């Protein structure tokens, strides 16, 4: 009996030590990784390449893209060049995602204008939508218009979200900049101004899009010089994965986007984040179905955590 009591007492005495050992073991990674995994989430940007819903190749591309974002389990992502029929395919019937945003122009606003949009998708079981809005990338941002030397309507959709797990709030901006350097630089100045007006200087901000510019161009430098956001590729804790570029010229404006997986080395798609966001890892996703790609752009994704 005395031996039994001694064993029990010894066992009880060892519990704190075992706890300390466990803490020591997990402090090397496991506990922190578990906490980080719970509070981190996946952000993406994807120019899906607009197309006609009457064409078999375009519909197949949309189905591949919708499968891609689900397979990689994206929580929050911005799209570009998305028509209504493509939005329906990406939303699917599983009820996983909600969406905010409006097209660059409606038929009533301009019967001849491109009616695609930059829509923001979010997991409904992870985020609540608190607010949303939009502005055009023009000198008259409050009304449908074309700006500077750009011939197409260009819009920025934004949403304010609350993370249901952490309770933290964030602003998400999604856009598609123009094809001329002048329009990109002037709209970059507007974007910086609008982020300050809508989100404020101390808010958590994500901005995704096809910026039609490499990192060294004046328009990107203008955005980064504001200090409001940083390039996720530059602050990732691990080296960026995958292709160096995001645009496949050989697939440009092709209905099927088949066979060419060469990017040409130009990265023109970005996920920008505010300074208080940690980027755990990031990469270019070059998934395809038997050499059939969902777009002429590779989607990009980041694992992020709000500090």
* Strand (E) or helix (H) holding 70: helix 56-71
Report the pLDDT value the prediction gives residue 11, as an integer from 0 to 100.
40
* pLDDT for residue 199: 98
What residues contact 127, with CB distance under 8 A and at least 6 apart? 75, 76, 161, 162, 163, 164
Domain boundaries, the chain: 42-306
Is the whole-model pTM more than 0.85?
yes
Over the stretch 81-103, which tens digit does the pLDDT of each residue have?
999 999 999 999 999 999 999 99
Measured between alpha carbons, how far is 281 from 229 in angstroms, rounded to an integer? 17
Pairing label, strands 41-47, 76-80: parallel
Instruction: Give the chain's residues under pLDDT 70.
Output: 1-36
DSSP notation for 208-232:
EEE-SS-TTSHHHHHHHHTSS-EEH
Q: What is the pLDDT of residue 238?
A: 97
**CATH top-level class of 42-306:** alpha beta
pLDDT for 254 equals 78
Nearest-angstrom CA–CA distance, 156 and 189: 13
What is residue 8's predicted lDDT score, i.e. its pLDDT? 38
Supply the pLDDT for residue 122. Answer: 98
């Amino acid at each position: 009996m005395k031996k039994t009591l001694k064993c029990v007492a010894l066992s009880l005495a060892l519990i704190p030590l075992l706890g300390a050992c466990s803490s020591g073991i997990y402090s090397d990674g496991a506990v922190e990784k578990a906490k980080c995994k719970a509070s981190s989430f996946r952000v993406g940007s994807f120019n899906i390449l607009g197309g006609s819903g009457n064409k078999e190749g375009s519909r197949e591309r949309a189905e591949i893209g919708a499968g891609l974002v689900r397979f990689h389990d994206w929580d929050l992502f911005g799209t570009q060049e998305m028509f209504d029929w493509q939005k329906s395919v990406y939303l699917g019937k599983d009820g996983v995602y909600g969406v905010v945003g409006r097209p660059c122009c409606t038929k009533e606003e301009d019967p001849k204008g491109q009616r695609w949009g930059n829509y923001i998708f979010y997991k409904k079981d992870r985020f609540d939508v608190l607010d949303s809005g939009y502005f055009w990338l023009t000198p008259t941002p409050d009304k449908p218009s074309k700006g500077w030397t750009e011939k197409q309507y260009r819009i920025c959709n934004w949403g304010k979200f609350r993370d249901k797990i952490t309770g933290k709030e964030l602003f998400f901006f999604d856009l598609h900049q123009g094809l001329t350097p002048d329009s990109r630089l002037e709209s970059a100045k507007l974007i910086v101004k609008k982020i300050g007006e809508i989100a404020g200087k101390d808010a958590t901000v994500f901005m995704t899009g096809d910026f039609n510019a490499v990192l060294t161009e004046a328009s990107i430098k203008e955005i980064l010089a504001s200090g409001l956001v940083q390039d996720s590729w530059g602050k990732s804790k691990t080296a960026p994965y995958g292709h160096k570029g995001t645009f496949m010229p050989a697939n440009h404006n092709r209905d099927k986007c088949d066979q060419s997986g060469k990017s040409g080395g130009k990265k023109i798609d970005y996920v920008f984040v505010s300074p208080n966001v940690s980027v755990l890892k990031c990469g270019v996703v070059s998934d395809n179905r038997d050499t059939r790609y969902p777009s002429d752009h590779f989607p990009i994704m980041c694992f992020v955590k709000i500090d």
